[in-house]
Amino acid sequence: DTAVSQTPKYLVTQMGNDKSIKCEQNLGHDTMYWYKQDSKKFLKIMFSYNNKELIINETVPNRFSPKSPDKAHLNLHINSLELGDSAVYFCASKLAGGNADTQYFGPGTRLTVL
């Protein structure tokens, strides 16, 4: 069984479009994250939700809007896509609490904006 899953795996779209990426975890975790990996493999956090509440919002353009309908899901909606949004987006999850610091990552969604 897949612990952290993302859909779609690949997404190719035109500039200016709006798209969503979905993430689901079946680990019973409380906290979920979105990371962006650029073409040079550099990984940077974008958002984090704990029990459906936003707790981390790094300096990400407001074209990016995360939505957490329940604690097992964290979706990422992107408006007015730009060329610079092309990247691999990773979802991750972890248990809340001081001793549970290991994050489990999904397989990634490769977004290509043309």
Specify the residue for token string 């990552």. 105
Q: For the chain, report the end-to-end CA distance as a whole number of angstroms.
A: 34
What is the nearest approach in angstroms of other proteins to the Cβ of residue 79? 24
Residue nearer to other proteins on the CB measure, 32 or 81: 32
Q: Decide whether 16 or 110 has the Cβ nearer to other proteins.
A: 110
Cis amide bond preceding 8, omega within 30: yes
Query: Shortest gap between Cβ of 21 and other proteins (angstroms)?
Result: 13
Residues that bind other proteins (CB under 8 A): 4, 31, 33, 35, 40-45, 48, 55-56, 90, 92, 94, 98, 101-108
Nearer to other proteins, 66 or 106 (CB): 106
For the bound state, the minimum distance from the C-beta of residue 15 to other proteins, rounded and expressed in Å, comes to: 26
